Amino acid sequence: MFRIKIPRYWRHKDFRYRLNAWRCNHCGEVHFFKPLVCRKCRSREFNQVSLPDTGKLLAYTVVRSPPEGFEAQSPYIVGIVELDDGTRILSQITDCHPEELKKGMRVEATLRKIREDDEDKIIAYCYKFRPTV
Amino acid sequence: MVRMSSVVIVGYGGYVPRYRIKGEEIARIWGRDRSELPTEEKSVTGLDEDTVTLAVEAARIALKRARIPPSKIGAVHVGTESKPYAVKPSGTIVAEAIGAVPRITAADFEFACKAGTEALQFITSLVDAGRIEYGLAIGADTAQGRPGDALEFTAASGAAAFIIGKNKNEGVAEIEAWTSYVTDTPDFWRREYERYPHHTARFTGDPAYFHHIVNSVKNLLENDGYTLNDVDYVVFHQPNTRFPLVAARLLGVDLEKVKPGLVVGQIGNTYAACSLLGLVRVLDQAKPGQRILLSSFGSGAGSDSYIIRVLENIKLKRDLAPPLDKFIDRKTYIDYAIYARHRKKILM
Amino acid sequence: MSRVYIAGVGLTKVDEHWWISLENLMTEASIKALDDAGLSRIDSIYVGSMLSLILQEQGHLGALLAEELGLSGIPAMAVEAATASGSAAVYAGAREIESGRADAVLVVGVDKMSDGMAEEVAAAMTSSERQEYTGFIGATFYSINALIYNLYMDKYGVSQEKIALFPVLCHEHSVNVPHAQYPFKIKLETVLNSPYVSEPLRRFETTAIADGAAALVLVNEETARKLDSPKTELLIEASTDYLTPFQREDPLWFPAVQLATSRALSRAKLERRDIKILEVFDATSIMAILSLESSGFAERGKAWQLLEKGELSLSGSIPCNTFGGLKARGHPAGATSVYQIAELHLQLTNRAGKNQVDSARAGLAQSLGAVASTAFVTILKEV
């Protein structure tokens, strides 16, 4: 029922692969997906920015009741990361067990498989964060 | 044979996934004798890793050391025998992930375990010919071993990436020469639609691995006027802990020159990444002016050999990213059940 | 502008209704509400549903319900605002009455989740988040709640034992409720020992898969006067916020709840102290706590004190979720907020049975879409 829609996945690869986002020229608000109007100040001018790939973990949890498409990975960790420029980003946290995580610990971005519907279907990649190596 | 004007490695990176399984644990499952394990342990990918993600990890580390804008990279070549897609290049995904698109050429290379050094040959040649300013060559694999087969003890996962350029001032090492030695020798193969490769057991030794490596190295030394005394480190392809040592003996190489580049005991045979990870490990410790002899082996069969001389810049660039040992030492042991889950050996 | 009155309500039991279709569920609630009001004709229908388009692949619920009721010909349509879809339908119906364009409107909330497998339902619930962001990385509604829960406990130093009192309260209230999904009491230990859904959030702090439909008949003043059924006056206000709480300045504060509450109170010319009965949206225990605080019925970081002191119990100063709330009455997604309003109506018309709260003359219901990205606040006044 819930499948990767290829054009939708492909359209946003700049953000998902490289954390490329938009920053409002007027108020500085960061938008992950191409905005036409700033949600905060309603300005219509944006600059593309490359978000920092490091930050600290503000909070984390473990998804134990996964949505369709994520069953094979469950349980997996989801966290809120505050990037070094202050942007908060929701992300899977990888390469660790929950008990190794601590609030405030340094994390860095990496690229991982986020989902694949079947062995014969497309593989979707996305940023995830992991404890800094 | 092939002399180059000036082609240098401007950045390099090695990556090994976090999980390890011990040879003993695999032996336990299949009731094998534990006294003659081909490696101590091998690296295993996480659930969310594949050849593309490993390649991206290594490429990003290489970029940190290269300190060049990714848009200046003109070619991305990935050597692997475990492409996530049978049809759809891994190189495009890697190039997109590091921001090298779209003014590039991208391709995947397959030549069993020497696909990585093969990718390096083509990148090196493109740079040497002046067709591109910088190029990225990657060897990456999430190697498959049939459950219970001898290969299961060694088939591992890892990636090594090299950014090649022309400007000597940017280089950490200069590629002085390379050669290749190839014959039709069916020691190991995987047919289309098959999950696991087949191999020919002891036939993979003398007529395959040793014959090609020895001849490749000899040709390089003879044609380009080097002797073993000119090199400080020797890195061979490492399908197990024994073969590279035997190769050293056959060629008369001092074992002390081989040891720094040996990684197979700790991470297993990472196939297309294998000898290149050995090179990464040597670059992590070599001094300016020292020479490295690299000799890969790919079943089917062939061997690429390189002479690489370390440059002054290594001292500045080495510490811009974590050394390979950081990834080798970052390890979590898993048992065979978790291994089976990670490597998708459980029918879901 | 005409005042809006509820003249009839209809509820189906919240349950896994294996034998009952989506159509039958919403029709049953509608018939009950029309019968309760003593009306057979209405001017229009608004249906609120969050999941039917996803889980049943059934859209066009307005015309469908009109046909099922033999009322084809009248205007009918569905509105959607995630788990607040039912309230959105109430909002649309109420505005139509207020505008003077309709005398009587049928409003129905419906969702039938049990047709989906647990993973499908979890994915469908994520449709209320920004799918390209939250849904894409496999972050569920519950995992976002869990992150907020962690931040809350960190910031205020409140332990889970305090927050987990909320589901206990809900189950205490559901015992005598015939339409409740789980009409039984639970102990705090049961909550704290239930398995994690997403640490620290435990299963008994969340809601289960549920089917249900609830309906209201809204009428104008003139029609209300003609009908014999018990009535209350309804005022509804709404507000919105960013879809992802972490993009907001403070993820622990729901400005949409605060805004909608103030707007509703000011329109009703009431103070918070006039509200003697409350419905909060306890999709999780922590959502209930944050809703209580953001609406000003509790101080920040101190909502647990109301629970501990028994203020939210049936005999307390401001009884809350008197039919069991989302946790125990059940949470059939888009239908839920219509249940909340119908239950307030039953209370204010003295038809709450053993759970009857005396002395209440006005009640307030908060209905939320996702983590307060949408907030509807409805006030009912005794007539």
Confidence of residue C247 (pLDDT cuts 50, 70, 90): very high
Mean pLDDT in residue range B105-131: 97
Taking only the tens place, the pLDDT of each residue in C278-312 is 999 999 999 999 999 999 999 999 999 999 999 99
Q: Please choose, from the candidates C108, C87, C88, the residue with its C-alpha nearest in 3D space to the C-alpha of residue C26.
A: C108
Taking only the tens place, the pLDDT of each residue in A33-61 is 999 999 999 999 999 999 999 999 999 99
In this structure, the answer to whether residues C192 and C111 fall within a common structural domain is no
pLDDT at B116: 98
Mean pLDDT in residue range C255-276: 97
Among the partner-chain residues B53, B98, B332, the one whose CB lies closest to the CB of A125 is B53
For residue B25, count CB atoms less than 10 angstroms from its CB and return exposed for 0-12, middle for 13-18, buried for 19 or more.
middle
Please state the domain count of chain A.
1
Residue C143 pLDDT > 70: yes
Taking only the tens place, the pLDDT of each residue in C199-227 is 999 999 999 999 999 999 999 999 999 99
> What CATH number should be reported for the domain holding residue C198?
3.40.47.10
Please state, in angstroms and rounded to a whole number, the distance separating the CA atoms of residues B26 and B308. Answer: 37
pLDDT at A68: 94
Residue A20's domain comprises 6-131
A113, A116, A122, best to mutate vs chain B, most B CBs in 10 Å:
A113
Domains annotated for chain B, with CATH where assigned, are: 2-172 (3.40.47.10), 173-314 (3.40.47.10)
pLDDT at B1: 46
Residue B281, min C-alpha distance to chain A (Å) = 17
B330 and A123 within 8 Å at the Cβ level: the answer is no
Q: Please choose, from the candidates C232, C239, C241, the residue with its C-alpha nearest in 3D space to the C-alpha of residue C264.
A: C239
Q: Please choose, from the candidates B145, B223, B187, the residue with its C-alpha nearest in 3D space to the C-alpha of residue B302.
A: B187
User: Is the Cβ of B97 closer than 8 Å to some Cβ of chain A?
Assistant: yes
Among the partner-chain residues C54, C143, C154, the one whose CB lies closest to the CB of A61 is C143
In this structure, the answer to whether residues C182 and C149 fall within a common structural domain is yes
Quick one: closest CA in A to C197, which residue? A64
In this structure, the answer to whether residues C272 and C372 fall within a common structural domain is yes
Percent of chain B with pLDDT over 90: 95
User: Is the Cβ of C299 closer than 8 Å to some Cβ of chain A?
Assistant: no
Q: What percentage of chain C's residues is helix, strand, coil (to nearest 5)?
A: 45, 20, 35
Tokens representing residue A64 in the block: 């134990």
Confidence of residue C4 (pLDDT cuts 50, 70, 90): very high
Residue C26's domain comprises 4-117+210-232
Residue C95 pLDDT > 60: yes
Please state the domain count of chain C.
2
User: Is the Cβ of A86 closer than 8 Å to some Cβ of chain C?
Assistant: no
pLDDT at B348: 78
ipTM above 0.90, yes or no: yes
Tokens representing residue B340 in the block: 């089976």
**Does residue A78 sit within a domain?**
yes
Catalytic residue IDs of B: 81, 113, 237
Among the partner-chain residues B49, B99, B327, the one whose CB lies closest to the CB of A112 is B49
Tally A–C CB contacts below 8 A.
112
In this structure, the answer to whether residues C249 and C313 fall within a common structural domain is yes
Instruction: Provide the residue type at A130 as one letter.
Output: R
Q: Please choose, from the candidates B44, B72, B10, B5, the residue with its C-alpha nearest in 3D space to the C-alpha of residue B331.
A: B44
Quick one: closest CA in B to A50, which residue? B99
Q: What is the signed CA dihedral for B208, B213, B216, B217, rounded to 10 degrees?
A: -160
B48 and A114 within 8 Å at the Cβ level: the answer is yes
A125 and B85 within 8 Å at the Cβ level: the answer is no
Cα separations (Å) of C346 from C47, C306, C352, C354? 21, 24, 5, 12
A13 and B322 within 8 Å at the Cβ level: the answer is no
Q: Which residues pair with B106 in a beta bridge?
A: B76
User: Which residues in chain A touch residue B93, judged by CB atoms under 8 angstroms apart?
Assistant: 125
152-211 in chain C: CB under 8 A from chain A: 154, 195-201
User: Which residues in chain C touch residue A63, judged by CB atoms under 8 angstroms apart?
Assistant: 138-140, 142-143, 198
User: Which residues in chain A touch residue B52, judged by CB atoms under 8 angstroms apart?
Assistant: 123, 125
**Does residue A1 sit within a domain?**
no
Q: What is the signed CA dihedral for B151, B154, B159, B163, rounded to 10 degrees?
A: -90
